[in-house]
Amino acid sequence: MEIDQLTTVVFDLDGTLCTYKEDLESSILRCFEVESVDDLPFTPEDYQDEFKRQFPGAIDGRVEHPEISFRKRLVWSLLEPLDGFSRKRILRCANRFDEIREAELALFPETVDVLGELRGHVKLGLLTNGPSSLQWAKIRHLGIEDLFDEVVVSGDHGLVKPDPEIFYLTLEKLGSTPEESIYVGNSHKYDVQGAKNAGLPVVWRRNPDEDEPVPEEEYPEPDFVVEDLKEIFGLGILDLSDDFNSRRIKLS
């Protein structure tokens, strides 16, 4: 693969630009620490299973009460069948869990500096998978919307990575093409596979503290691997000395 002129860098959000300061289990424990329960009513695995079950409907709009945030809806679904949880108590727990998870979400230390260094030299895009209410709440909590030329949340469009159409839509909004763009993400399934489906080269952010495994045979290899976003400046694919319209960069 070769890029004659790299004008556009598109980033994933979760696990690429930001992460949670505490794990899911710790957030669940804190949520119920004042509820006087002997055993946690659900586990991180229960939560993840419910997330996967409700995710498709949240993307294509097949949900009741879409005004309720996705996290709150998950907690509500997990607690409603259980004895001892009134509607008032469920709502209290759902609100608390949503607040805890939002408060624990933080940018990686280098994120703002990297985006700031790129801004003005390349077009910057953000493409994130997830329900609209959840992802936009994250973006606004992190205060990063204005750092990008375009922000695309899959739930706004009824599409999800690795579908190449969501990548094409993002590039169209940026006025770019796959031949002049690169994608930066942390998931083999959604980011590496999706970008490759759309014909974009990929920088894979490997997070040693997360469970994302080494690429399996079913997924294509990323073009580059970094553990810190600052490392993209040492890959030989970016030259910020000139305006991007006059720069020609080879990627092979």
Distance CA 197, CA 191 (A): 10
Are 198 and 168 contacting, i.e. CB atoms less than 8 angstroms apart?
yes
Residue 208: the pLDDT is 66
Residues β-bridged to residue 14: 18
Given a cut of 60, whether residue 22 has pLDDT beyond it is yes
Given a cut of 50, whether residue 249 has pLDDT beyond it is no
Q: Which two tokens stand for residue 71?
A: 């996290």
Distance CA 121, CA 98 (A): 37
Q: What is the average per-residue pLDDT within 147-167?
A: 95
Count Cβ atoms within 10 A of the Cβ of residue 69 and give its class: 0-12 exposed, 13-18 middle, 19 or more buried. middle
Reference 228, options 181, 184, 179; nearest CA is 184
Given a cut of 90, whether residue 100 has pLDDT beyond it is yes
- Side chain identity at residue 19, one-letter code: T
Residue 26 three-state SS: helix
Residue 246: the pLDDT is 38
Lowest mean pLDDT among 2-16, 96-110, 124-138, 159-173: 2-16
Q: Is the peptide bond before 109 cis (omega within 30 degrees of 0)?
A: no
Residue 115 three-state SS: helix
For the chain, which residues make up each domain, given as ranges? Answer: 8-17+108-246, 24-104
CATH entry 3.40.50.1000 includes domain 8-17+108-246: yes
Given a cut of 80, whether residue 37 has pLDDT beyond it is no
Distance CA 82, CA 103 (A): 27
Residue 29: the pLDDT is 93
Residue 67: the pLDDT is 62
Which residue matches tokens 């469920």? 90
Residue 236: the pLDDT is 84
Q: Which two tokens stand for residue 26?
A: 């710790």
Q: What is the average per-residue pLDDT within 102-110?
A: 96
Q: How confident is the model at residue 177 (pLDDT cuts 50, 70, 90)?
A: very high
Q: What is the average per-residue pLDDT within 21-45?
A: 91
Q: What is the average per-residue pLDDT within 77-93?
A: 93
Residue 217: the pLDDT is 64
Residue 61: the pLDDT is 63
Q: How confident is the model at residue 4 (pLDDT cuts 50, 70, 90)?
A: low
Residue 11 three-state SS: strand
Query: pTM for this one?
Result: 0.89
Residue 195: the pLDDT is 96
Lowest mean pLDDT among 33-42, 177-186, 192-201: 33-42
